[in-house]
Structure 1
């Protein structure tokens, strides 16, 4: 974002405003650009509920389906109750505040619409169902609580399928814009899963916070399991090796580790109690 802002400053007023607006920026320099380890785009990790169920599907894929057909509510009502899922009598004019409702809708929508959006009736709608099918595969891989190298490899392969289908659909429907952050964020999710340290059971919401590395490598903060693995496959990771100076002895570099939000709150309370005693 800083590079975009700097480039915009070299333009005239009209083109500058257009460039900044395209990326959602204001003509104001961000003070946090001067602080190391404060890049918010690197500090945010993938959130399945808000990125998938409450955004990519509910705000983009589902409205596309609604735009193609008007009888989906009737077809959805004909579906039998599915164990463990909510049952919907109609979804064409229904909105939910609960993301789990959209998760359940995503699991039945292909079955409800496949005989309406057939290949012969709507080529574009049929391709949309293929895209949703790939989305469901991705959602399944991301939802796994235990991952192996094979599941991560399969998830990455499915991500390529999704991107291919999405670009094909974009060529069919040029009116819809797919340029939004949550359509991009899942491209890094499997690299994050592969490089993240083991997480205790029951910990669900995570964030990355800056931690002083004291001049040591990223694996010392629990990010990479093996530095040789980093050297062998640097493209597998989201981290830039140029940011690390292995010979420094001062607290100058910053790395990121994964921690639970509740754990952060507990630490802050603990520090306050200690300071109060002294």
Structure 2
């Protein structure tokens, strides 16, 4: 049977040449590996953030010599989300260049960002044949013939380098290598050409037996391109001798087929495939396994919710699609799941959520890596304890990939560089671009339109902006309200507002009760992220009618004695005059810690809010805090709240006293 497949390929060499010759982009290129350090406790600690700080780049640089420049390619292929136009079905292959920073490289449709390299023809599955070995082999052969066409322009360049006069008018000797291959498990199986989930060794990275996938703390021998080629060559020798059964036995033992990556030097597909947060966490461990188990527990007959409450919950359950939902629902689930088994399941989910947060950190160092290892091992232990009772069997490849997570975070750099979510973002742009074509031979038109769009975006980015950057480095009050006299301030827990404010402002700040203060609706709080030390901003509100409802946010202060964070509730933000100056003030109520995160059932600190009111200067506020009700009623002093440390990467580090400070 003869079948033709049409594919569209853009030359990797031509694409790369255009980028390195661009005088605007060239200053952003990084050509050599670097070691980065920061000071922790008086000692230098190495960290990795961008690809050129990773360990693999150093190894590749030593392999090619000092006179060569590595150009690492990020390759993304998604077989499950296809682009269907004009009666034809394809799925795109996206390429990115690793010499540019993540802000440029991960942009969608912009010059220097992800670029459409090829449309791979997709074979329609025939129900009667899709499980046959001949059909599966045919699909794999087609996939790697396409890869060979994609790799053809750079196969020689990976071995003997290519001289290119770059944007600085200097000759650079380039080695173009495929160093990152992102995709779902099925795509990684196709790229490495192993036999997949039902084979003896279903992992594309290592030789873990099929019945040991749930053990994520034990290291198995790694697959290498040299080993795979040697095994395949041995099998082919038996096949040439006519011993096909012996050849298949050898190849099946290692779950191998011929691979297009083997034509390239300094490129190993088993090292190139990456732990993908989107498919392995969001759409894997959480979305396909842990979240359904939680839903099952919530819907059990002995759950506390009545019928009406469960109906409302069902509508929300349909909205929970990714791991970010854990940031909001863990405190609520604590009240829904009663009994020791429910709380134990929540602790398991908490370990997974915290591990997900550490996986997404933009900067990784040995201290954070050790914390991530503790979280992974804790999750493994709790899964093992639950698997024999209430949970399903967790012996599947996406669970096993946690065994490679820490190695990828340190050897490859942070997961944001190889997360497939950036490639999926380009699918939306390609579908939108289709409407600008005449629906005939649209693949070439889409590629041309994307190139034009990238250049237009680049030109727009280099026009001077009319917006002024935020110059505030301290908390800054915004959205002023009309002035009101001090005696008009009414609070159930504070009758002597004027007296106590004067006492705070050294007794003479406010002369009389008729003096006005100037309320504000919100406060802009700049802070430096504990994750990557970049400037960030929080907006916190203290307003009686924020979109029709009262909103009084919580903030973090730092205890002057212990240096540890404390949590307060804002009741009023205002200016006042005293001592010949303006004071930025906040009226707050403090909280006390009932128990720390380690003592908590779901790993969150619980605080109790006091009804005592006091004043602080807004300059003492470090950033916003996120408190969720515990639903346990009022404590001895006031209501109790969970301190949610899963809201962002800075918060989980900032509130982890054992690991955060100085890292």
Report the TM-score when normalising by structure 1: 0.50
Higher relative contact order at CA 8 Å, sep ≥6: structure 1 or structure 2? 1
